[in-house]
Structure 1
């Protein structure tokens, strides 16, 4: 089987806000709900990183609320990063001031897009699925942002496992809010072909990474290498990048 190489990126962009130390969560909390700060400048920096990749999964992208100056940040990054295809899944609204979404940027044309709300004690989480190609060589990319609570994460991972159970070529990436060795992750690896990564890359907090809670997981039929972390401007998470080999028939421009 002929293969094609592509570069993937997963990034929690914190809606273009800046967090450089723990105290900023309190002293700069206004930036998460107000249209202030250099958010477009932050997005331009993220777009440069994203543009070096073929497919990008975003978490905490504002879909166009007051805090982003009514800018759809996924669309903005698609235009600035040189992506012909983009989609998003608004899934959490914070009053009338802010909203949050999962997003997908791609230089290849997906054959289908779907999204699902995730179960949990508090609503507002989701998983976004993009399908590339057809048949046995098709590739599924899933982008998710999981809950902080272990019980909610367990139900969310069980739901995602059902969606991806029959997929031979699949990637699940996003902010999991937990490390790979947590008990709730076992369901995902048991019920799908997704595999634990060969190495752990710490992504949080971005200014002194100590926890590997952002992941790019691939199924056993896919080969990946060069897992690396990069700053996503001044988000509190580092972005994850990986090189992936996929069936040649899975992608089309």
Structure 2
């Protein structure tokens, strides 16, 4: 379902953050953001800069990819996100590294009721996965999946098929799938298995952040009213903080 937003409403949506999670109108701002291990275009690791971009977004729900967190670091991004911005954080580690982990992170201002994790790894490829959660607020439940697909087309096709199977249950429930799908080619078949079950946001160039050309980051949805206001968040800070720009959308639950 698509609802009509005029140009002024789109401008207002970009300029203002929702005042509280799951308002009476069930209007939500959602985003997906590959943070490149908090390494910016200057080559510096700066979690505070990423946290500032997250604050700019004003989103109720954010899926982060390429999160590299270590328990011995004072600049831990999860701690910054939860203590400074008030989000609930759900981690989805795909790879264990020395004194730390690496993977996806879901931030939500809505209450987290149920957490599942989906293994999307393919043989001899970088481990991949998805966070699968149920969020509640305002008397409604929303299922959200946060993911990061692989680099090869056949790998992405298999991951899309795995997610398609995972969301086949409860087809009438509201669903968001947020992620970096690495699907750079319009019309390429790698997402087709998943797109039989969900609608996709318009393609918005988000990579590379210095001069975006490729629409790698997408918002997919089902049983949700989505405005045409999907956009890449292209502020000066976002252009420098990561090699991807965040992609943001406005939705209304039916």
**TM-score category by the smaller chain?**
0.7 to 0.9
Select 1:144's aligned residue among 128, 144, 147.
147
Aligned to 1:55: 61
Distance 1:137 1:107, change over 3 A: closer
Select 2:210's aligned residue among 207, 210, 214.
207
Deviation of 1:209 (Å): 0.6
Deviation of 1:138 (Å): 2.9
Matched residue of 1:9: which SS? strand
The answer as to 2:248 corresponding to 1:241 is yes
Aligned to 1:250: none
- TM-score normalised according to structure 1 size: 0.79
RMSD over aligned Cα atoms: 2.4
Q: Is the 8 A contact 2:34 2:242 kept in 1?
A: yes
Q: Is the 8 A contact 1:119 1:155 kept in 2?
A: no
Structure 1 moving runs of 4+ over 3 Å: none
- TM-score normalised according to structure 2 size: 0.78
Counterpart Cα distance in 1 of 2:121 and 2:45: 34
Deviation of 1:225 (Å): 3.4
The answer as to 2:43 corresponding to 1:43 is no
Q: Is the 8 A contact 1:62 1:71 kept in 2?
A: no
CA-to-aligned-CA distance 1:124-145 (integer Å, 9 cap, x gap): 11100111249x9531110000
Select 1:12's aligned residue among 19, 34, 45.
34
Select 1:172's aligned residue among 160, 173, 177.
177
CA-to-aligned-CA distance 1:125-171 (integer Å, 9 cap, x gap): 1100111249x953111000000011111111110111112333111
Aligned to 1:117: 119
Q: Is the 8 A contact 1:63 1:71 kept in 2?
A: no
CA-to-aligned-CA distance 1:81-117 (integer Å, 9 cap, x gap): 222x111011124x52764221111111022111122
Distance 1:99 1:70, change over 3 A: farther
Deviation of 1:230 (Å): 1.5
Matched residue of 1:42: which SS? helix
Deviation of 1:70 (Å): 6.2
Deviation of 1:123 (Å): 4.1
For these two proteins, the number of residue pairs brought into alignment is 222
